Amino acid sequence: LMDAGRVKALAVMSNERIDAFADVPTLVESGGPDWGAAAWRGIVAPDGIPKDVEARLKEAMINVWNSDEFTEFMTGRGFGLTYLEGDEFGEWMASSDAAFGEVMTAVGLDN
């Protein structure tokens, strides 16, 4: 839609410009707040998952992460790439949830 001139991107919600949309400024560059958001994807499992199953899932995720196909797919669509696992991913999810909660409260959507 951007290429067709039907929509105009006003800003990207990241700390740096995105290569796929190099002409689109960040929120800060466009006069907005220093705030970011990401379209993230991940895999989680319940506490107590058998260690062998956990190991297989981690191996599968690392294989996907390291594949050229995944990298090309993600970067070609303007998605950033960051790999986190275990407690580090859990902490990031909690932080992201809290940040979105603050925004929802600020705009009155916290009911």
Question: What does pLDDT average to in each consecutive run of 10 residues of the chain (111 residues)?
Answer: 89 87 92 83 91 95 96 87 90 90 88 73
pLDDT computed for residue 68 by the predictor: 97
Chain CA centroid to CA 88, Å: 14
DSSP classification of residue 25: P
Phi, psi of 106 (to 5 degrees): -60, -30
Work out the angle at residue 82's Cα, subtended by the Cα atoms of residues 80 and 87, and round it to the nearest 5 degrees. 145
Characterize 54-76 residue by residue with b for buried, 16 or more Cβ atoms within 10 angstroms of its Cβ, and e for exposed. eeeeeeeeeeeeeeeeeeeeeee
pLDDT computed for residue 99 by the predictor: 86
Residue reference for tokens 């958001």: 37
pLDDT computed for residue 66 by the predictor: 96
Whole-structure pTM over 0.85, yes or no?
A: no
pLDDT computed for residue 69 by the predictor: 97
pLDDT computed for residue 51 by the predictor: 95
